[in-house]
Amino acid sequence: MTVPTGGAAQAAPPTISVEGLSHSFTDPQTRKTVHALDDVNLEILPGDFVTVVGPSGCGKTTLLNILAGFIRPSAGKAFVNGRAIERPGADRGVVFQELAILPWRTVYRNIAHGLEIQGVAKPEIDERVNRMTSLVGLEGFEGHYPHQLSGGMRQRVAVARTWVSDPEIILMDEPFAAVDAMTRLTLQEELNDLTVRTGKTVFFITHSVEEAVFLGDRVMALSARPGRIKEEVHVPVPRAERSWERMSHDEALQDTVEHVLSLVRGEAVEPTGQDG
Ligand SMILES: Nc1ncnc2c1ncn2[C@@H]1O[C@H](COP(=O)(O)OP(=O)(O)OP(=O)(O)O)[C@@H](O)[C@H]1O
Ligand SMILES: [Mg+2]
């Protein structure tokens, strides 16, 4: 929270804003087109945790790839801190849908990887990696290789790898999809704590409506492809007060889950074939 130091308080500009964003992919061989996103508008303010749900193939990863600067939209605009997004940048860190950790590197060297590429000095890398391993509960496993870790621990490495570079914005694509239900609850509570403590801005894609409500300040429900924002749902309990214990008996949170479920329930999963 910033406290105005006098005069009229100025509204902080949105960290991310998206205006009239549409995207189509064209198969270079068949010339057939898949219309992935349609007229998406969105604002993410500093420190917001925005979650995204929608049926498979509705364009969630495409939207994340546009925000990350990996692909340019066919129409419309996306901005980060008022600048048009044209390429990836150190201000945005990505945790990918497919677990992106390097099997031949230890936990320590996986987490250190990005800092090594940036040419950060060794003592600073040590300091930052050690702080990160303890933040995500991996102390004692620094020398382990990914195959020597549980699925939940590998997931923590993936999050730590992105977090250690201290990007202002973290874009996460179903980071917990592959872990078992119990581990997932722990990782969700840990991520909630971490983001409440650090005030990071997060854009988080998931297939789980409960996860979206548990983690988000707002849940964006997307329609089936082409993905449009059906509704943005505000979650009525501050993130600092969330726990799974509370989720299980808080009526406002339960009602929110029901409401988001009703929004996504009507949306079919991705139809087979292409659009035209
Ligand atoms: N590089 C590409 N070339 C052609 N079509 C693509 C490409 N990437 C995605 N698509 C198509 O765009 C649509 C949206 O894909 P996207 O990966 O964004 O969906 P998603 O919502 O992330 O799905 P899921 O929940 O299954 O991860 C899909 O129909 C997909 O086949
Ligand atoms: Mg996806």
- Residue-wise pLDDT tens digits, 143-194: 999 999 888 888 889 888 988 988 999 999 998 887 778 888 888 998 999 8
Q: Let me know if residue 139 belongs to a domain.
A: yes
Question: Are 230 and 114 found together in one domain?
Answer: no
Question: Are 185 and 253 found together in one domain?
Answer: yes
pLDDT of residue 275: 55
Question: Are 105 and 135 found together in one domain?
Answer: yes
Report CA(99)–ligand 2 centroid distance (Å). 13
Question: Are 86 and 177 found together in one domain?
Answer: yes
The strand pair at 49-53 and 201-205 is best described as parallel
Question: Are 48 and 110 found together in one domain?
Answer: no
pLDDT-derived band at 236, boundaries 50, 70, 90:
very high
Q: Let me know if residue 274 belongs to a domain.
A: no
Q: At residue 110, what are phi and psi to the nearest 5 degrees?
A: -65, -45
Question: Are 137 and 212 found together in one domain?
Answer: no
Pocket flag, ligand 1, residue 60 (CB < 6 Å): yes
Question: Are 206 and 221 found together in one domain?
Answer: yes
Q: Which among 102, 134, 166 is the end of a domain?
A: 166
- Which residue's CA is the nearest one to ligand 1's atom 4? 25
Q: Let me know if residue 1 belongs to a domain.
A: no
Q: Which among 166, 195, 218 is the end of a domain?
A: 166
Q: Which of 21, 23, 24, 25 to mutate to test the pocket of ligand 1 (most atoms within 8 A of CB)?
A: 25
Is residue 4 pLDDT above 50, yes or no? no
Is residue 42 classed as helix, strand or coil in its secondary structure? Answer: strand
List Cβ neighbours of 31 (8 Å cut-off, separation of 6 or more).
none
Element spanning 196, H or E: helix 181-198
Q: Rounded CA gap, 196 and 199, in Å?
A: 5
Q: Rounded CA gap, 125 and 111, in Å?
A: 9
Number of separate domains in the chain: 2
Q: Let me know if residue 2 belongs to a domain.
A: no
- Residue-wise pLDDT tens digits, 14-23: 899 999 999 9
**pTM across the whole model:** 0.88
Q: Let me know if residue 62 belongs to a domain.
A: yes
Pocket flag, ligand 1, residue 23 (CB < 6 Å): no
Please tell me what DSSP assigns to residue 268. Answer: P
